[in-house]
Structure 1
Amino acid sequence: MPAKVYHGSLSLHYAHYAHSPFSSIDRSLLSQSWEADIEDFQWHVAVRLAELRDREGFLSFAWIGRLLEAFLQCQEEFRVMVAQARRSGGWGRQAEMLVAAHHQRAVNALDVCNAARYGFVRVQCWGRLANIAASALLAPGEIQEGQLRRAFKALFDLSALLVEDPAAPWSGSGVASFLSSHRNSSFSFRTPASSSRASSSSVSSSSSSSHFSPFPWSVSRTWSAARQLQAIGSGLAAPGAHDEGLAAPAYAMGCMLHLTSWALIAAVPCPDRGTVLQANFLPPLPPALAFPWALPLLTLQDRLTEEGKRKDRRNSCGLLKEIHALEKCVQRLAEAIDAAAIPLSWESKAEVREAAAELAAVCTTMKDGLEPLGRQVREVFHRIARSRTECFDSRMPNTY
Structure 2
Amino acid sequence: MRMPATDFKGSSPSLAHFGRALLSLRRDPVQVHSMEGSATPQPQYQNSNLDQELESFQKQVTDRFLDLSSAGQDDLLSLSWVGKLLDSFIYLQEEFRYILHNHRTLVFKPPVDRMMSDFFERNVKALDVCNAIRDGIDQLRQWQKLLEIVLFALNHQKSIGEGQLRRAKKALIELSIVMLDDKDSNASLAQRSRSFSRNAVGRDHHHNHHHRFRSLSWSVSRNWSAAKQIQAIGNNLNPPRGNDLVASNGLAGVIFTMNSILLFVMWTLVAAIPCQDRGLQVHFSIPRSFSWAAPLLSLHERIMDQSKKRERRNSCGLLREIHQIEKSTRMMNELADSVHFPLTEEKEGEIRQRVQEVSQVCETLKDGLDPLEFHVREVFHKIVQGRTEGLDTAGRLNQQES
Counterpart of 2:125?
108
Aligned equivalents of 1:51 and 1:164: distance in 2?
Answer: 36
Change (3 A) 1:55 1:210: closer
Deviates more, 1:161-170 or 1:101-110: 161-170
Question: Which structure 2 residues correspond to residues 222-241 of structure 1 after superposition, within 5 A?
Answer: 222-241=223-242
Q: Kindly indicate whether residue 66 of structure 2 is the aligned counterpart of residue 67 of structure 1.
A: no
The superposition leaves residues 48-88 of structure 1 with CA deviations (integer Å, 9 ceiling, x where unpaired) of 1111011231111111011001111111111111111115x
Counterpart of 1:247?
252
Counterpart of 1:86?
104
Change (3 A) 1:126 1:313: same
Shift in Å at residue 352 of structure 1? 1.1
Aligned equivalents of 1:139 and 1:149: distance in 2?
Answer: 16
* Amino acid in structure 1 at the alignment position of 2:151: A
Counterpart of 1:382?
381
Aligned equivalents of 1:90 and 1:128: distance in 2?
Answer: 49
Aligned equivalents of 1:103 and 1:262: distance in 2?
Answer: 17
The superposition leaves residues 251-304 of structure 1 with CA deviations (integer Å, 9 ceiling, x where unpaired) of 00011011100110010111111xx23xx3114x2122x111111111111112
Counterpart of 2:64?
48
* Amino acid in structure 2 at the alignment position of 1:257: L
Counterpart of 1:271?
276
* Amino acid in structure 2 at the alignment position of 1:361: Q
Counterpart of 1:347?
346
Shift in Å at residue 210 of structure 1? 6.3
* Amino acid in structure 2 at the alignment position of 1:33: N
Aligned equivalents of 2:240 and 2:108: distance in 1?
Answer: 17
* Amino acid in structure 1 at the alignment position of 2:171: A
C-alpha contact (below 8 Å) 1:41/1:77 kept by paired residues: yes
List runs of 5+ in structure 2 lacking aligned partners.
1-28, 39-45, 188-194, 200-216
Counterpart of 2:24?
none
Counterpart of 2:18?
none
Aligned equivalents of 1:376 and 1:212: distance in 2?
Answer: 23
Q: Kindly indicate whether residue 30 of structure 2 is the aligned counterpart of residue 22 of structure 1.
A: yes
Shift in Å at residue 130 of structure 1? 1.0
Q: Secondary structure of 2:103's match? A: helix
Aligned equivalents of 1:251 and 1:321: distance in 2?
Answer: 30
* Matched length: 333
Counterpart of 1:13?
none
Counterpart of 2:287?
287
Change (3 A) 1:314 1:211: farther
Aligned equivalents of 1:90 and 1:362: distance in 2?
Answer: 47
Aligned equivalents of 2:321 and 2:184: distance in 1?
Answer: 22
Counterpart of 1:177?
none
Question: Which structure 2 residues correspond to residues 129-278 of structure 1 after superposition, within 5 A?
Answer: 129-165=146-182, 168=185, 218-244=219-245, 245=249, 246-273=251-278, 276-277=279-280
Aligned equivalents of 2:151 and 2:337: distance in 1?
Answer: 15
C-alpha contact (below 8 Å) 1:72/1:380 kept by paired residues: yes
C-alpha contact (below 8 Å) 2:150/2:167 kept by paired residues: yes
Change (3 A) 1:370 1:239: same
C-alpha contact (below 8 Å) 2:186/2:277 kept by paired residues: yes
Q: Secondary structure of 2:318's match? A: coil
Q: Secondary structure of 1:243's match? A: helix
Aligned equivalents of 2:282 and 2:314: distance in 1?
Answer: 19
Counterpart of 2:49?
33
Identity %: 40
Shift in Å at residue 219 of structure 1? 1.4
Counterpart of 1:318?
317
Change (3 A) 1:295 1:390: same
Aligned equivalents of 1:369 and 1:165: distance in 2?
Answer: 21
Aligned equivalents of 2:34 and 2:82: distance in 1?
Answer: 24
Counterpart of 2:15?
none
Question: Which structure 2 residues correspond to residues 110-125 of structure 1 after superposition, within 5 A?
Answer: 110-125=127-142
C-alpha contact (below 8 Å) 2:85/2:265 kept by paired residues: yes
Aligned equivalents of 1:53 and 1:134: distance in 2?
Answer: 35
Counterpart of 1:304?
303
Counterpart of 1:192?
none
Shift in Å at residue 155 of structure 1? 1.2
TM (norm. structure 1) is 0.78
The superposition leaves residues 305-358 of structure 1 with CA deviations (integer Å, 9 ceiling, x where unpaired) of 111111111112211111111111111111111111121111211111111111
Aligned equivalents of 2:364 and 2:239: distance in 1?
Answer: 40
Aligned equivalents of 1:39 and 1:67: distance in 2?
Answer: 21
Change (3 A) 1:397 1:241: closer
C-alpha contact (below 8 Å) 1:135/1:360 kept by paired residues: no
C-alpha contact (below 8 Å) 1:133/1:151 kept by paired residues: yes
Counterpart of 1:14?
none
Counterpart of 2:359?
360
TM (norm. structure 2) is 0.77
Aligned equivalents of 2:357 and 2:183: distance in 1?
Answer: 30
The Cα RMSD (Å) is: 2.7
C-alpha contact (below 8 Å) 2:233/2:263 kept by paired residues: yes
